[in-house]
Protein backbone atom coordinates (compact mmCIF):
# COMPACT_ATOMS: atom_id res chain seq x y z
CA UNK A 1 0.00 0.00 0.00
CA UNK A 2 1.29 3.42 -0.93
CA UNK A 3 -0.13 6.78 0.12
CA UNK A 4 0.79 10.38 -0.56
CA UNK A 5 0.61 13.20 2.00
CA UNK A 6 1.10 16.93 1.45
CA UNK A 7 1.52 20.16 3.39
CA UNK A 8 1.11 23.34 1.42
CA UNK A 9 2.15 26.93 2.08
CA UNK A 10 4.81 26.15 4.68
CA UNK A 11 6.62 29.38 5.52
CA UNK A 12 10.19 28.07 5.07
CA UNK A 13 12.21 28.59 1.91
CA UNK A 14 12.35 25.49 -0.32
CA UNK A 15 16.15 25.58 -0.57
CA UNK A 16 16.38 25.15 3.21
CA UNK A 17 13.73 22.42 3.31
CA UNK A 18 15.40 20.34 0.59
CA UNK A 19 18.52 19.96 2.76
CA UNK A 20 16.48 18.30 5.51
CA UNK A 21 14.39 16.20 3.10
CA UNK A 22 17.55 14.65 1.64
CA UNK A 23 18.44 13.34 5.10
CA UNK A 24 15.22 11.35 5.59
CA UNK A 25 14.35 10.22 2.07
CA UNK A 26 14.45 6.41 1.84
CA UNK A 27 14.41 5.82 5.60
CA UNK A 28 11.64 4.14 7.57
CA UNK A 29 9.07 6.45 9.18
CA UNK A 30 10.35 5.67 12.68
CA UNK A 31 13.97 6.36 11.71
CA UNK A 32 13.01 9.58 9.93
CA UNK A 33 11.05 10.93 12.89
CA UNK A 34 13.89 10.05 15.25
CA UNK A 35 16.42 11.82 13.02
CA UNK A 36 14.25 14.91 12.69
CA UNK A 37 14.08 15.28 16.48
CA UNK A 38 17.80 16.04 16.54
CA UNK A 39 18.15 18.13 13.38
CA UNK A 40 18.69 21.76 14.40
CA UNK A 41 17.17 23.27 11.25
CA UNK A 42 13.77 24.96 11.34
CA UNK A 43 12.62 22.93 8.34
CA UNK A 44 12.68 19.70 10.37
CA UNK A 45 9.43 20.47 12.21
CA UNK A 46 7.11 20.84 9.18
CA UNK A 47 8.56 17.71 7.54
CA UNK A 48 8.12 15.75 10.78
CA UNK A 49 4.50 16.94 11.01
CA UNK A 50 3.74 15.66 7.51
CA UNK A 51 5.30 12.26 8.27
CA UNK A 52 3.46 11.98 11.61
CA UNK A 53 0.16 12.91 9.98
CA UNK A 54 0.76 10.28 7.30
CA UNK A 55 1.59 7.58 9.83
CA UNK A 56 -1.54 8.38 11.85
CA UNK A 57 -3.74 8.33 8.74
CA UNK A 58 -2.37 4.93 7.72
CA UNK A 59 -2.78 3.61 11.28
CA UNK A 60 -6.40 4.75 11.26
CA UNK A 61 -7.06 2.57 8.22
CA UNK A 62 -5.00 -0.40 9.41
CA UNK A 63 -4.16 -0.43 13.16
CA UNK A 64 -1.90 -3.48 12.81
CA UNK A 65 0.79 -1.64 10.79
CA UNK A 66 4.04 -0.94 12.60
CA UNK A 67 5.80 2.42 12.14
CA UNK A 68 9.03 0.64 11.22
CA UNK A 69 7.30 -1.09 8.30
CA UNK A 70 6.47 2.23 6.63
CA UNK A 71 9.15 3.62 4.34
CA UNK A 72 9.49 7.14 2.94
CA UNK A 73 9.52 6.00 -0.65
CA UNK A 74 9.58 9.52 -2.09
CA UNK A 75 9.80 13.00 -0.62
CA UNK A 76 9.85 16.31 -2.43
CA UNK A 77 9.77 20.03 -1.81
CA UNK A 78 8.25 22.41 -4.35
CA UNK A 79 8.30 26.17 -4.29
CA UNK A 80 5.06 27.89 -3.43
CA UNK A 81 4.14 31.54 -3.85
CA UNK A 82 6.29 34.38 -2.58
CA UNK A 83 5.35 37.27 -0.33
CA UNK A 84 6.83 40.40 -1.82
CA UNK A 85 8.23 43.01 0.52
CA UNK A 86 10.29 46.14 -0.12
CA UNK A 87 13.43 47.22 1.70
CA UNK A 88 14.55 50.86 1.58
CA UNK A 89 17.92 51.50 -0.05
CA UNK A 90 20.16 54.44 -0.76
CA UNK A 91 18.96 57.55 -2.63
CA UNK A 92 15.27 56.76 -2.12
CA UNK A 93 15.26 53.46 -3.99
CA UNK A 94 13.72 50.23 -2.74
CA UNK A 95 14.65 46.62 -3.50
CA UNK A 96 12.31 43.65 -3.60
CA UNK A 97 12.56 41.00 -0.88
CA UNK A 98 10.83 37.70 -1.62
CA UNK A 99 9.76 35.55 1.32
CA UNK A 100 9.25 32.09 -0.13
CA UNK A 101 6.74 29.40 0.76
CA UNK A 102 7.16 25.65 0.26
CA UNK A 103 4.91 22.72 -0.58
CA UNK A 104 6.00 19.45 1.09
CA UNK A 105 5.08 16.03 -0.29
CA UNK A 106 5.80 12.56 1.06
CA UNK A 107 4.89 9.07 -0.14
CA UNK A 108 4.73 6.44 2.59
CA UNK A 109 4.73 2.78 1.61
CA UNK A 110 4.87 -0.58 3.33
CA UNK A 111 7.28 -2.90 1.56
CA UNK A 112 5.10 -5.98 1.22
pLDDT score recorded for residue 105: 97
pLDDT score recorded for residue 112: 58
Per-10-residue mean pLDDT, the chain, length 112:
94 97 95 96 97 95 89 96 97 97 96 66
The domain 2-110 is placed in CATH, from the list 3.50.50.60, 3.90.470.10, 3.30.70.270, 2.60.40.10, at 3.90.470.10
Domain coordinates in residue numbering, the chain: 2-110
pLDDT score recorded for residue 66: 87
pLDDT score recorded for residue 1: 81
**What one-character-per-residue DSSP string does 11-76 give?**
SS-HHHHHHHHHHHTTSBHHHHHHHHHH--STTHHHHHHHHHHHHHHHHHH-TT--GGGEEEEEEE
pLDDT score recorded for residue 111: 75
pLDDT score recorded for residue 45: 97
Amino acid sequence: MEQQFNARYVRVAPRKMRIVMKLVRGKTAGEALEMLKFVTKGAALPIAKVIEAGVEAIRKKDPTINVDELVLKRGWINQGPAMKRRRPRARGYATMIKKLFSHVGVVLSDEK
